[in-house]
Amino acid sequence: MNSLLSSTSSLLNQRLALHPLFNLNTVSLVALKSYLSKTERLPPVHQLSFVIDGPAATGKSEISKGVSKKLGFNWVDSQAIYRALLLKCRYNNLEVSPANAVKISELAKNTEFDFIYEKDDDSYKVLMDDKDVTKQINDCEIPDKDVLNALSIPEITEAMKNKQRRLVYINEERMRKELEKEGEDVKNKSPKIYCTLLEGRAAGKNVFDDAHLIFNLKADFNVRVERRFKELNGKKTKEQISNELKENETKFKELTTPIKRALTINTTDLNKEEQIETIGFLVKDRIKRYFDNIGPMY
């Protein structure tokens, strides 16, 4: 018995010694109680991630923002982060090509990105090295094919992977502040949940293949052309849009191939509200299954 108590005491001392509040030789019970009260005073925050993937004009942005606003989620536009990187490539006279893959990956590694979404007015900011570059990105009109080109170069996607994951799995202090903004009482004992919806082409494949749920959107080609035409307010003809979509999807076919565990949703016959309602229902079901300790039904 004495041997057991001695080994238990020794193990406790070893563990406590790892914490700066305690000294290996003198363990204060007052300090211990204080330490335990501080570490246990707030319930943990569960973080869940969801991805909306798919080719152009399938409804990724509208659904992502709509679901995020309806359910009080954080939202991150993966391709907006890539456009920030491409803007920096322009500043450094770097053409996005396999020949410059190493230089661009180093540029990405040495750049800090952030994405701030305001649900109240559906606005967002893209920060690069703590500077708001949203207007510059919009003004320079980086074409989709340039983004797809970057997404197809492994060195670049690998360098950008952790940058984007950090925008989804943020630190606990920031999570709690975001939850408080949504009216959550972060000090009561009920479980807290912080969800982020990441949107973008190949986001499931290149960033979050381990997300809690991945959606792969699809829609009939002519419907997608019509949607993109309306989105651009007549800046391009339907024929131009059709040719661009065909060219991009032929050249970057591997980016339109859904990963095996993605849930495919056809948005052809769904209006905006129906798209948001459908994805929102499936997301809420996944959250319930998470807390019930049940795997996804898909």
Instruction: Please report the domains of the chain, with CATH numbers, ordered by start residue.
Output: 46-291 (3.40.50.300)
The pLDDT of residue 18 is: 43
- Measured CA to CA, the distance from residue 98 to residue 87 in angstroms comes to 17
Specify whether the CB–CB gap between 52 and 65 falls below 8 A: no
The pLDDT of residue 264 is: 93
User: What SS3 class is residue 33?
Assistant: helix
The pLDDT of residue 12 is: 44
Long-range contacts of 13-16 (CB under 8 A, 24+ apart): none
On the 0-12 / 13-18 / 19+ scale of CB atoms within 10 A, 151 is buried
Give the residue among 148, 126, 144 at the shortest CA–CA distance from 135: 126
Long-range contacts of 145-148 (CB under 8 A, 24+ apart): 145/244, 145/247, 145/248, 145/251, 146/86, 146/96, 147/79, 147/82, 147/83, 147/86, 147/201, 148/201, 148/248, 148/251, 148/252, 148/255
The pLDDT of residue 295 is: 67
The answer to whether the pTM exceeds 0.95 is no
Spatial CB neighbours of 73, under 8 Å, sequence gap ≥ 6? 50, 67, 195, 196, 197
Spatial CB neighbours of 97, under 8 Å, sequence gap ≥ 6? 149, 153
Strand partners, 196: 49, 74
- Measured CA to CA, the distance from residue 185 to residue 216 in angstroms comes to 34
**Residue 209 CB neighbours (<10 A):** 14
pLDDT in tens, the chain (298 residues): 545 445 444 544 444 444 444 444 444 555 555 545 555 567 788 999 999 999 999 999 999 999 999 999 999 999 999 999 999 999 999 999 999 999 999 999 999 999 999 888 889 999 999 999 999 999 988 999 999 999 999 999 999 999 999 999 888 888 888 888 878 887 777 878 999 999 999 999 899 989 999 999 999 999 999 999 999 998 999 999 999 999 999 999 888 767 788 999 999 999 999 999 999 999 999 999 998 887 665 5
N-term to C-term CA, the chain: 52
The pLDDT of residue 118 is: 87
Specify whether the CB–CB gap between 96 and 217 falls below 8 A: no
Q: What are phi and psi of 193, to 5 degrees?
A: -135, 130
- Measured CA to CA, the distance from residue 211 to residue 66 in angstroms comes to 19
Specify whether the CB–CB gap between 35 and 19 falls below 8 A: yes
- Whole-angstrom CA distances from 175 to 21, 39, 48, 196 are 26, 17, 12, 10
In the block, tokens 């606990």 appear at 172
- Measured CA to CA, the distance from residue 125 to residue 250 in angstroms comes to 32
The pLDDT of residue 43 is: 79
Pairing of strands 113-118, 192-199: unpaired
Pairing of strands 213-218, 263-266: parallel
- Measured CA to CA, the distance from residue 158 to residue 104 in angstroms comes to 11
